[in-house]
Chains A and B, each alone.
Chain A
Amino acid sequence: MTASGVPSAADVELKPITMAKALNMGLRAAMDADPKVLVMGEDVGTLGGVFRITDGLKKDFGAHRVLDTPLAESGIVGTGVGLALRGYRPVCEMQFDGFTFPAFDQIISQVAKVQFRSQGAWQMPMVIRIPFGGGIGAVEHHSESPESLFCHIAGLRVMSCSTAADAYWMIQEAIECPDPVIFFEPKRRYWEKGVVDTSSRPDTVVSSIVRRAGTDCTVVSYGPSMPVLMKAAAAAEAEGRSLEIIDLRTLSPLDLDPVLASVRKTGHLVVVSEAPREASITSEVAARVTEEAFYSLAAPVLRIAGFDTPYPPTRLEEEYLPDIDKILTAVDRSLAY
């Protein structure tokens, strides 16, 4: 049992749980471990968040640790900065990706720079959780993938989980980090289940990881596209092609060594993301691999990404999102070089 009297996953059988539940349990574990951890955002308290990620936290930890804030995103992050300066560890929720931008100024001008400006006198142990990505049939501003905007800002750590187990550990690792973390949660995967062994903590889940070993072509992504990549690898296997699938998990700073090692083995690389292609994480991975493993490449690095358009209306989102066929077509093109 935890300090709050809520059963931890260690007390129950290892049956699959949803990513939403895993995040909720991870938040509970972090709040149990450190009384300075606060959860704050719109509807995170009584309601438990629009995605129920903070469900029950207010009841179990109290209104002084789970703050239902006024509806102002800059206010959530800007007061979070002050709370962090005061010694708290705020976990701020942005209700949707497209509602993050009122807070963009505070994130860029203060969250990212306080430590550097003060030459280490201050630290900024803050987590900003952002449910992101499409595929849920939502109206405008609810399906965006703005992660590369944050990767471009020095001083921010950016990460994204793709499995329930990673979600459980990654949110805790993010909260323990003395630096600010922009934590992207693939909302489309909130209700997908996975086994979470809460009894044995990995060294880190904030590093790139090979999800499936292969020999013919490396395919890299993160967050919501990872299940698509795994299905593409299974389909490719049926066609006699062996794909190596890598989950970046940390988007900034990038952990590129596993990608480079894989490319040196396969000679082929396809990078996948549902964010628009221009100046994106797929751009960064392609550029860095080209710089560091040029002679290992047997083909240009290819990308499957969102189009350079605003996110479309829902009846078109299947056209917009990366899917198995788009990925396999890119693999074919790479291998045909």
Chain B
Amino acid sequence: MAPDRWIRNPRTGPDAGMDAAGPGTSGVPTAEQMVHGLRQTAHGEGLVELLTPEGELTPDPDYPLEVTPDLLKGLYRDMVLVRRFDREGNALQRQGQLGIWVPLLGQEAAQVGAGRAMRPQDMAFPSYREHGVAWCRGVDPTELLGIFRGTDHSSWNPKEKGFHDYTIVIGNQALNATGYAMGQRFDGKVGSSGPDALQTDEATIVFFGDGATSQGDVHEGMVYAASFDAPVVFYCQNNQWAISEPVETQSRVPLHKRAAGYGFPGIRVDGNDVLACLAVTRWALDTCRSGNGPVMIEAFTYRMDAHTTSDDPTRYRLADETEAWKMFDPIERVRVLLTRSGWADDAFFASVQADADELAARFRAFTMAMETPPPTRMFSHVFSAPNQQLERQQADYLEYLAGFEDGAGGGAVGGPAGGIADGAAHGDDAVRAGAHAVSAAGSAR
């Protein structure tokens, strides 16, 4: 049941769908019935939505947003390209080129909406799934690959991009972001009354998931942010699953309601509605930069893929659930509106698809060309300056490596070439060579 049926048959309201099928019938539910049912069960109360799954604009006076063709086309392009390289990341992992990939499928709107709401002077603290926010901050997708290929822990310049390194320990970044936001306030970058305030005043946004809301660091972050009036937006992407644990394991109350306990606003937004995510996050960031933060946003979305490529969601959730959430696809509703309104034509969609394919090809080629860093990299930036202890360890290790006949190890004795990019003798499969092999032969005589 493709959502594009609404292109031909504009929504006449969920109840109309119910009526058409008739309550109590045993037939397969219509798309309208499914959406209606999902809204009742999944969305709950207080959801901000500016663009319905059927592609209808539903403006909200609290979160005004001028929806222009250019804005919508830009957001559409962002989401299609982000989804495309995300899918490529999954494929590259399956082909053994990446150690792991963390898919964001389904969360494109939640991330692109928030990312595009940021102003250049703002700062983002991501978890490890924020490829879409990275994209909006000008981090090239190839800069994400080092983490997943295992060549480094972070590649982009976090200061330059206003996008901190990925944080893997769940929730740590909530405190780091709060501290950064406290610094923005101490620097006098919050709440100035000048005409350029929106261009000069700053705010911070921190990304975390529904699982992280159980972490002490997220709780403490909210306590500190309230205590110090920190200009920080707590942006929780509630994708319903923390690996195998449903959100009900984390909380008895809707997550956005927790904000009230800390004394600041909590807003629930349709996380699959890029316009709502954009408008609400822009409001929240501007509220923070004007000195009225913090703010919490719960972007109500769904993790359409596994937690990571190492995960198997079939062990803990039904395919039916994932299928149902396809009705809320964040990209399709934008495509429906663009098409129905005549704001975009086939040529536009084709050009976006071409850009996406080109990005994926570049992403793939970059992965294949990535080289293993030299062992000296391990010893770099442990401290700001060299110290005797590490210099000796490095020198000893390089001397050890030099003791092998080819200067690197395993290659000299025809050791396993596959799997280890630089051919050095490492790990369980290492084969003693060079000087060691010679001395062993000598003792055998």
Contacts and interface: CB of A to CB of B under 8 A. Distances in A.
Contacts of B181: 82
A312 interface: no
B165 A114 contact: yes
A79 B389 CA distance: 31
Interface in B203-230: 216-217, 220-221, 223-224, 227-228
Interface stretch (A6-14, A51-59, A102-110, A239-247): A102-110
Interface stretch (A115-123, A159-167, A189-197, A321-329): A115-123
A69 B224 contact: yes
A64 interface: yes
A80 B381 contact: no
B9 to A, nearest CB: 50
Among B175, B178, B183, B184, chain A packs the most CB atoms within 10 A around the CB of B175
A101 B386 CA distance: 29
A74 interface: yes
Interface in A68-103: 69-70, 72, 74-75, 77-88, 90, 102
B183 A86 contact: yes
B183 A121 contact: no
B182 interface: yes
Contact of B158 (A78, A105, A116, A118): A118
A294 to B, nearest CB: 17
A157 interface: yes
Given A117-B165, A120-B381, A253-B388, A85 B216 contact: no
Contact of A70 (B172, B179, B224, B390): B224
B153 A85 contact: no
B153 to A, nearest CB: 4
Given A78-B175, A79-B224, A102 B183 contact: no
B154 interface: yes
Interface SS majority for chain B: helix
Contact of B384 (A90, A118, A179): A179
Interface in B155-208: 155, 157-159, 164-165, 167, 169, 172, 174-184, 186-187
A110 B164 CA distance: 12
A78 B216 CA distance: 11
Among A82, A83, A116, A253, chain B packs the most CB atoms within 10 A around the CB of A82
A155 interface: yes
A106 B218 CA distance: 12
A81 B125 CA distance: 12
B178 A155 contact: no
A85 to B, nearest CB: 6
Contact of B182 (A83, A105, A117): A83
Contact of B177 (A67, A82, A254): A82
A213 interface: no
B154 A118 contact: yes
B375 to A, nearest CB: 15
Given A119-B154, A121-B158, A85 B220 contact: no
A178 interface: yes
B388 to A, nearest CB: 7
Nearest to B230: A79
A154 B180 contact: no
Nearest to B220: A75
B176 A85 contact: yes
Contacts of B382: 115-116, 154-155
How many residues of A sit at the interface, in one of the four size bands? Answer: 35 or more
B249 interface: no
A74 B176 contact: no
B152 interface: yes
B387 interface: yes
Among A78, A117, A179, chain B packs the most CB atoms within 10 A around the CB of A78
Contacts of A113: 153
Contact of B176 (A64, A110, A123, A155): A110
Contacts of A255: 388
B316 to A, nearest CB: 27
Given A78-B221, A154-B382, A106 B175 contact: yes
A19 B208 CA distance: 43
Interface string B11-52: 000000000000000000000000000000000000000000
Nearest to B189: A86
A119 B165 CA distance: 11
A26 B384 CA distance: 23
B261 to A, nearest CB: 14
A79 B178 contact: yes
Nearest to A177: B384
A123 B159 CA distance: 11
Contacts of A70: 220, 223-224, 227
A116 B381 CA distance: 5
Interface string A247-266: 00000011100000000000
Contacts of B164: 85
A118 to B, nearest CB: 5
Contacts of B216: 72, 74, 102
A72 B216 CA distance: 9
B180 A82 contact: yes
A78 B215 CA distance: 13
A110 B180 CA distance: 14
B176 A81 contact: yes
Contacts of B172: 78, 105-106, 109-110
B175 A253 contact: no
B180 A117 contact: no
Interface string A139-166: 0000000000000001101000000000
B380 A120 contact: yes
Nearest to A250: B387
A114 B389 CA distance: 20
Contacts of B389: 253-254
A86 B180 contact: yes
A70 B219 CA distance: 12
B124 to A, nearest CB: 12
Interface of A: 64, 67, 69-70, 72, 74-75, 77-88, 90, 102, 105-106, 109-110, 113-123, 154-155, 157, 177-179, 253-255
Given A74-B220, A79-B178, A154-B382, 7 more contacts: A79-B176, A79-B179, A82-B181, A85-B183, A86-B179, A86-B187, A110-B167
20 contacts: A69-B224, A74-B216, A74-B220, A75-B175, A78-B175, A78-B179, A82-B182, A83-B179, A83-B180, A83-B186, A87-B183, A88-B186, A106-B217, A113-B153, A115-B384, A120-B380, A122-B159, A154-B382, A179-B383, A253-B387
5 nearest interchain CB pairs? A82-B179, A78-B175, A86-B183, A79-B179, A82-B180
